[in-house]
Amino acid sequence: MRILIAPDSFGDTLSAVAASAAIARGWSAARPGDELRSAPQSDGGPGFVSVLASRFGDLRRATVSGPLGAAVSASWLFDDRTSSPVAYIECAQACGLHQLGGRPTPRTALSADTTGVGQLVDAALDAGARTVVVGLGGSATTDGGRGLVDALGGPAQAVQRMSGVQVVVASDVENPLLGSLGAAAVFGPQKGADPASVERLEERMGQWSRVLAGMAGRDVSGEEGAGAAGGLGAALLALGGRRVSGATVVAEATDRAADVASSDLVITGEGKFDSQTLRGKVVSALNAEATDAGVPTVVFAGQVVLTPEEIEAAGIAGAYAIVDVAGSVDVAMNDADNQLTRLAEKVASGWGDGVA
């Protein structure tokens, strides 16, 4: 049997690449004769670069400014298989919440910037990239992308630097830059901002949005995705970017449809399999592709919240929870790699021509 193993990340416990490897270990232990193909997935957030690097390209490293100014080592991916090289950048590598060195606070919410992301873009351009794809998600920043613009030389120089370069904003976030659904109001509290900080961030970005409008020749603040990654989306849109679903970017770059069509079973997964999963996330998109190709889909997750009836109605052949083999949520999270391997082996050992 040909198995495509294509999970998303399991929250903060397992990256998509690690989850794919754990599933493969468990499945092959029970069914060594099956042909396994690993295709970890991402929506553009943390893990975006490692997911793509597991399939193609030249993984490079650069020392850049972290969210609070301290130097960090960040990976980016260079793909020069064609005459028009593509660079894939993950904003969380340079300005991620995990790089704050502690819990986010109002101070970090106000101070964190995207300078390092601009430095990665600059490095990609120096390497000859003609398309720059920036995955958004997991950022500690709410600076509207001002740090990125400054790192590229300021508004006028940044526009000139990006002239003739295709910019792809890889994000599933549709929020605008400003207002009650904007970057500060919706995502600021997740990054440590208290009500006073949210108000100050909103004021800052209102002023900055006028600079972005001058760069773009239009007001980008209300466009879908402008509020992604603390408004970094708005700056990229002002530099000529177009927003594309991060999951779609990964699917197209890795020719996922062909992988699905050539498989007998698709195994995917994520941290929590719930109603949100069925609304356009990686797992649902994969299941739709597999259904169209007549290939059954199995979901592994940390927890499965959906009822058997909901799972069946979604057209999913089976859904299995790590917590059920681990015995507790604590063990499932703290020993996720081993427990996911155990789950995959258990499911595979009972697998026949139908659902285990």
pLDDT of residue 210: 98
* CATH architecture of residue range(s) 2-39+254-349: 3-Layer(aba) Sandwich (3.40)
pLDDT of residue 355: 45
pLDDT band at 104 (very low <50, low <70, confident <90, very high): very high
Residue 279 and residue 263: Cα distance in Å, rounded? 24
Q: What is the share, in percent, of the chain residues with pLDDT greater than 90?
A: 91
Q: pLDDT (tens digit, 9 = 90+) per residue, 120-173?
A: 999 999 999 999 999 999 999 999 999 999 999 999 999 999 999 999 999 989
Strand order in the sheet with 58-65: 58-65, 71-79, 86-90, 131-135, 166-170, 242-244
Query: Residue 200 — φ and ψ, nearest 5°?
Result: -70, -40
pLDDT of residue 354: 45
Residue where the block lists tokens 């120096």: 126
Residues 343 and 325: beta-carbon distance below 8 Å:
yes
Burial group, residue 29, by CB count within 10 angstroms (0-12, 13-18, 19+): middle
pTM, 2 dp: 0.91
pLDDT of residue 277: 73
Q: pLDDT (tens digit, 9 = 90+) per residue, 335-344?
A: 999 999 999 9
Within 217-281, residue ranges assigned H as helices are 228-238, 246-253, 256-261
pLDDT of residue 278: 72
- Measured between alpha carbons, how far apart are the two ends of the chain, in Å? 15
CATH topology of domain 48-247: Glycerate kinase, domain 2 (3.90.1510)
E strands, the chain, in order? 2-5, 35-38, 58-65, 71-79, 86-90, 131-135, 166-170, 242-244, 265-273, 297-304, 318-321
pLDDT band at 356 (very low <50, low <70, confident <90, very high): very low
- Grouping H, G, I as helix, E, B as strand and the rest as coil, residue 183 is helix
Q: pLDDT (tens digit, 9 = 90+) per residue, 343-352?
A: 999 999 998 6
Query: Residue 157 — φ and ψ, nearest 5°?
Result: -65, -35
Cβ neighbours of 354 (radius 10 Å) = 8
Give the pLDDT mean for 250-262: 95
Q: Above 80 in pLDDT, residue 276? A: no
Q: Which amino acid would we find at residue 87?
A: A
Cβ neighbours of 194 (radius 10 Å) = 13
Q: Above 70 in pLDDT, residue 299? A: yes
pLDDT of residue 280: 63
Give the pLDDT mean for 92-97: 96
Give the tokens for residue 144.
């509207």
Query: Residue 74 — φ and ψ, nearest 5°?
Result: -125, 140
Q: Above 90 in pLDDT, residue 204? A: yes
pLDDT band at 282 (very low <50, low <70, confident <90, very high): confident
Give the pLDDT mean for 46-61: 95
Length of the chain measured in residues = 356
- Grouping H, G, I as helix, E, B as strand and the rest as coil, residue 182 is coil
Burial group, residue 307, by CB count within 10 angstroms (0-12, 13-18, 19+): exposed
- Grouping H, G, I as helix, E, B as strand and the rest as coil, residue 60 is strand
Q: Above 50 in pLDDT, residue 353? A: no
The residue ranges of every structural domain in the chain are 2-39+254-349, 48-247
Fold match, 2-39+254-349 / 48-247: no
